[in-house]
Structure formats: structure tokens, C-alpha cells
Amino acid sequence: MDGVPVWAELKITKNDRFTISKSQIAWHLGHTRCGGVSFFLVHDPSTRLVFLFDGGLAAKLHGSRLSVLRPAARWYGDISAAPCALRLAARESWIERLDPASCAPAPCDDGAGSTNENRDGL
């Protein structure tokens, strides 16, 4: 999309839930961890709404009720608006990932500079 890779997993709810396989969860989490952009686009036939969730939330989405997940949706609305919403969300996600400030080390309180000893819990 717009020259950058984007992955959208399409899902449909049944009894206010949708399923995500273990391999899909692993893929989306790994893809996000490596800097990729992915989403779940979930259609709820009972409301005729479509919900857009970040792929990095795959483990939290699995097994949860859509009615509970609604606040975590990046966007929701009519299916006719979904392509535009997906495009905007993908663009925003890539801008966040490509922002040099997001890669900068956190400022050090003691003024001695920064180290990577405790970075990312390693």
C-alpha cells in the first residue's frame, strides 16, 4: 500500500468472538517485533460494523469478546470506509516506525550518557 508492505488479516465474528490461530498470533507478534505493519480487520455481521486492530495485539485479541475489545480498535465503522481507514492506519504506523526520534536513546538523568545495558530488558 503506497509502496510499503502492509498485512491485513480478515476475520468475521460469530457469537461476538473471532478466532486467531496460534500460528497467526506468532506471525503477527513476530512481524510487529521486526518492525512490520499488520492489522486484523474484523467484521461483525450483527452490527454490520468493521473493526481495525493492530496486529501486535494478536495475543490479546484471541478469545476475547468483540464487545470488550471495542476500545482497543484503532478504527471502526461501515465496511465501505474500511479501505481508507486501513490506508490511514498503515501510513501512521509506518511513520511511527520510521521516525528517527523513536530510535533515539532515552535521555540519561545523571548526564553521564546512555548505555544499552538494560535496553529492552536484556
Give the per-residue pLDDT at 98.
77
Residue 119 lies in a domain: no
Enumerate residues 6+ apart whose C-beta is below 8 A from 119: 105
Residues facing residue 39 across a β-bridge: 8, 54
Give the per-residue pLDDT at 39.
97
Residue-wise pLDDT for 68-83, tens only, equals: 999 999 999 999 999 9
Q: What do you get for the CA distance between the two ends of the chain, in Å?
A: 34
Structure pTM?
A: 0.76
Residue 92 lies in a domain: yes
Give the per-residue pLDDT at 110.
47
- For residue 58, count CB atoms less than 10 angstroms from its CB and return exposed for 0-12, middle for 13-18, buried for 19 or more: buried
**How far apart (Å, rounded) are the C-alpha atoms in residues 63 and 21?**
10
Residue 105 lies in a domain: no
Q: Which domain holds residue 19?
A: 7-100
Give the per-residue pLDDT at 3.
72
Residue 107 lies in a domain: no
Enumerate residues 6+ apart whose C-beta is below 8 A from 102: 96
Residue 110 lies in a domain: no
Residues facing residue 9 across a β-bridge: 40
Give the per-residue pLDDT at 112.
45
Residue 115 lies in a domain: no
Strand order across the beta sheet in which 38-44 lies:
7-12, 38-44, 49-54, 75-78
Enumerate residues 6+ apart whose C-beta is below 8 A from 63: 17
pLDDT in tens, the chain (122 residues): 667 778 999 999 999 999 999 999 999 999 999 888 999 999 999 999 999 999 999 999 998 999 999 999 999 999 999 999 999 999 998 888 776 555 555 454 444 444 444 434 43
Counting the structural domains of the chain, the total is 1
